[in-house]
């Protein structure tokens, strides 16, 4: 056994995490990776059955402790219940990944209903704030505590097709920086600004196959769309001791960019 293990600081043994929206796609990738690194993980997802099934799969794949629970992160009572369940199961909480988020495409800015903005803020921004506050008393007792958000690169570039989503994610960035300063020396707070990861949600959001093709067209420096694992690897870095000198940051994980002309005219 060599004396130096370069992966030592990436281990998550002794950590316990909640991953919101972890039942599929990017959130499932994050849950699998944190659990595979040794963390005990609670998946909190609107789809409780899928959360449990994914958690069981992850537990089998990693040999770790992964559980799933139904939770609507826009509801305070659901948030309190999932935090209580995680703390009861794991004896504490060191890690929160606010991964839930989404928004539909609307190329005509005059057609965006006020309520669409409000719902987008509730899902993408307010839910992360509520989750963070509910977890905070437990995070404050933990070693290497962190909150990491699934942000979006669309929050940092012109994203006229998805205004309510992009502005809500931009607000999430601001909240992240402010919380990181408020919680300095106690809880690290960061956001991963994610680029194009082709998930089933794209079609549901009204992004047609030809638009998806255009999004693949490299302006991107790496010339490929992202995989959930690309995001999960960054999350592991930020949540583990390997990231313990990083707080208040937005980390771009987007294949080198190129989403400015995401959807075309
Ligand atoms: N896929 C991308 O290209 C991309 C790009 C940038 C940012 N992101 C961000 O990454 C995150 C994950 O994206 P994804 O593509 O894996 O999403 P997804 O839609 O595939 O999965 C989201 C998960 O969240 C759950 N969920 C939805 N509403 C919920 C609620 N109210 N309470 C609890 N759970 C809820 C869903 O059941 C689902 O399991 C999101 O925040 C998204 O905005 C994704």
Segment 99-111 mean pLDDT: 93
- Confidence grade of residue 33 (pLDDT, cut at 50, 70, 90): very high
Segment 203-225 mean pLDDT: 70
Report whether pLDDT(4) > 80: yes
pLDDT of residue 265: 41
pLDDT of residue 214: 67
pLDDT of residue 256: 87
Tokens read off for 19: 């991953």
pLDDT in tens, 17-27: 999 999 999 99
Q: Kindly report whether the global pTM for this prediction surpasses the value 0.85.
A: yes
- Confidence grade of residue 222 (pLDDT, cut at 50, 70, 90): confident
pLDDT in tens, 51-84: 999 999 999 999 999 999 999 999 999 999 999 9
Residue 21 beta carbon below 6 angstroms from any ligand 1 atom: yes
Residue 26 beta carbon below 6 angstroms from any ligand 1 atom: yes
Residue-range domain boundaries for the chain: 12-253
Residue 78 beta carbon below 6 angstroms from any ligand 1 atom: no
Residue 74 beta carbon below 6 angstroms from any ligand 1 atom: yes
Given its phi and psi angles, is residue 129 left (phi above 0), alpha (psi -120 to 50 degrees) or beta? alpha
Between the CA of 55 and the centroid of ligand 1 the distance, in Å, is 16
| Under 8 Å between Cβ of 19 and 43 | yes
| Under 8 Å between Cβ of 95 and 37 | no
Phi, psi of 200 (to 5 degrees): -60, -25
The separation between CA 6 and the C-alpha centre of its own chain, rounded to angstroms, equals 25
Residue 98 beta carbon below 6 angstroms from any ligand 1 atom: no
**Calpha distance 50→61 (Å, rounded):** 16
Instruction: Report which ligand 1 atom has the smallest distance to the Cα of 23.
Output: 39
Residue 167 beta carbon below 6 angstroms from any ligand 1 atom: no
Architecture per CATH, domain 12-253, reads as 3-Layer(aba) Sandwich (3.40)
| Under 8 Å between Cβ of 203 and 172 | no
| Under 8 Å between Cβ of 231 and 190 | no
Between the CA of 22 and the centroid of ligand 1 the distance, in Å, is 8
| Under 8 Å between Cβ of 77 and 102 | no
Between the CA of 21 and the centroid of ligand 1 the distance, in Å, is 6
Report whether pLDDT(217) > 60: no
């Amino acid at each position: 056994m060599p004396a130096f293990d370069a992966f030592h600081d990436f281990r998550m043994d002794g950590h316990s995490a909640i991953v919101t929206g972890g039942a599929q796609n990017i959130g499932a990738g994050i849950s699998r990776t944190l659990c595979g690194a040794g963390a005990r993980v609670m998946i909190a997802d609107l789809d409780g059955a899928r959360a449990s099934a994914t958690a069981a799969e992850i537990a089998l794949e990693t040999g770790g402790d992964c559980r799933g629970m139904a939770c609507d992160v826009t509801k305070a009572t659901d948030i309190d219940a999932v935090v209580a369940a995680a703390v009861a199961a794991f004896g504490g909480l060191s890690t929160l990944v606010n991964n839930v988020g989404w928004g539909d495409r609307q190329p005509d800015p005059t057609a965006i209903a006020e309520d669409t903005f409000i719902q987008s803020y509730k899902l993408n921004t307010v839910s992360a704030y509520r989750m963070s506050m509910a977890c905070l008393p437990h995070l404050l007792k933990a070693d290497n505590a962190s909150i990491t958000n699934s942000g979006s690169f669309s929050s940092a570039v012109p994203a006229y097709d998805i205004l309510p989503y992009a502005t809500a994610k931009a607000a999430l960035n601001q909240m992240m920086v402010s919380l990181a300063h408020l919680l300095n020396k106690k809880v690290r707070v960061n956001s991963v600004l994610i680029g194009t990861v082709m998930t089933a949600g794209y079609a549901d959001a009204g992004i047609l196959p030809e638009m998806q093709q255009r999004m693949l067209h490299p302006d991107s420096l790496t010339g490929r769309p992202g995989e959930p694992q690309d995001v999960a690897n960054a999350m592991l870095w930020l949540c583990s001791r390997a990231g313990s000198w990083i707080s208040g940051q937005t980390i771009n994980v987007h294949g080198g960019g190129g989403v400015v002309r995401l959807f075309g005219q």
